[in-house]
Structure 1
Amino acid sequence: MEYKSLGALALHLAGQEAALLASLHDGLDRCGKQLVSTMKAEIGHYQPGVGQFAAWADLADSTEAHKARMGYPSDAPLEATGEMRDSFTHEVHGLECIAGSKDPKMVWHEFGTPKMPSRSVVGPAALTQKEFIRRTLGHATVAGLIGGSAIHASLGYDGEI
């Protein structure tokens, strides 16, 4: 490309930066949605160990008895009313994506307590989606640097990686 002035070059570079930031924001939003979907799917099902996160322990007999008295599903860890599952969400601020639960009890389940084993959801979701995140942000970076949606089409990218 040839520019007639430094001002024209500066305008071009500013546009490129805006395109990169918009593409990265879109990529982070896709990653957040994928993480939330993964976290929600873990609720109610015993999870295997992932990385440094232990497999979920069986629910205590006393917990199962309490769930039965309340009419909640049996043998479904972290699932009672569905409120905890529905508390998972994500937000994108600038170049940061925050994904997790808005339920304050989730921190007890994620890390455990002296009387309750951990049943981590957020950490394992991030580990299992690591490759999706890497590919999505890689595509978003390339798209933002060299042409936005045009690069998506040329790579055959349709938003699902």
Structure 2
Amino acid sequence: MREFHSIGAFVAHLATLEGRLALDSREALTDAAKLVEKQAKAEIGTYQPAVGPFAAWPELADSTKEDRARKGYPENEPLLRTGDLRDSISHEVHGLEAIIGSTEDVALYQELGTQHIPPRPFLGTAAVVKEKEIVKLIGEQLAGTLAGVRYRIKGD
């Protein structure tokens, strides 16, 4: 904890807080986005249990398993064939807003489901799984900033 030996030193510290809070908030948000991205990538290829408002992933249809096997892929790794979907997951941070998503159209179909594909969410579930860790990470980073210490947690 930082100590101030004069009111002038405390006022000087307060004057720098606005800019420091903006920078540290962005760093904390970037680390949080990295946590969600990493979790989302880890969910690809493995059946996921129910979490938060999201249902457990249903078993792949027999016809899907047969198609996967015929094409040389393991039959029971949902959402994972070439790795393109997993590898397309990334994050962006703009100001105090983070976006974690995929550039692949199939990500939307898998996340929300379609008429023929049951939902197998991996982005929403990743955020729910990492929620407590994110709150702790951001809280500790910003508390450190307010206390006048550099407290950095890496999200990767």
Query: Would the TM-score normalized by the shorter structure come out above 0.5?
Result: yes
When the two chains are superposed, the root-mean-square deviation of aligned CA atoms in Å is 1.9
1:72-83 counterparts in 2 under 5 A?
Answer: 72-83=73-84
- Secondary structure of 2:90's counterpart equals strand
Structure 2: gaps of 5 or more residues: 1-5
Give yes or no for contact 1:21–1:144 (8 Å, CA) kept in 2.
no
Runs of 5+ in structure 1 lacking a partner?
4-8
Count of aligned residue pairs for this structure pair: 149
Distance 1:158 1:119, change over 3 A: closer
Taking structure 1 as reference, are residues 72 and 158 closer, same or farther at Cα in structure 2, changes over 3 Å only? same
> Who is 1:43 aligned against?
44
1:28 aligns with 29
- Give the letter for the 1:62 counterpart: S
Structure 2: distance between partners of 1:143 and 1:23: 9
TM-score (norm 2): 0.87
Runs of 4+ with >3 A deviation: 11-14, 157-160
One-letter amino acid matched to 1:19: R
| SS in structure 2 of the partner of residue 72 of structure 1 | coil
Q: Is the 8 A contact 2:21 2:142 kept in 1?
A: yes
Q: Is the 8 A contact 1:22 1:144 kept in 2?
A: no
Tell whether 2:132 aligns with 1:131: yes
Counterparts of 2:24 and 2:57, CA distance in 1:
37
TM-score (norm: length of structure 1): 0.84
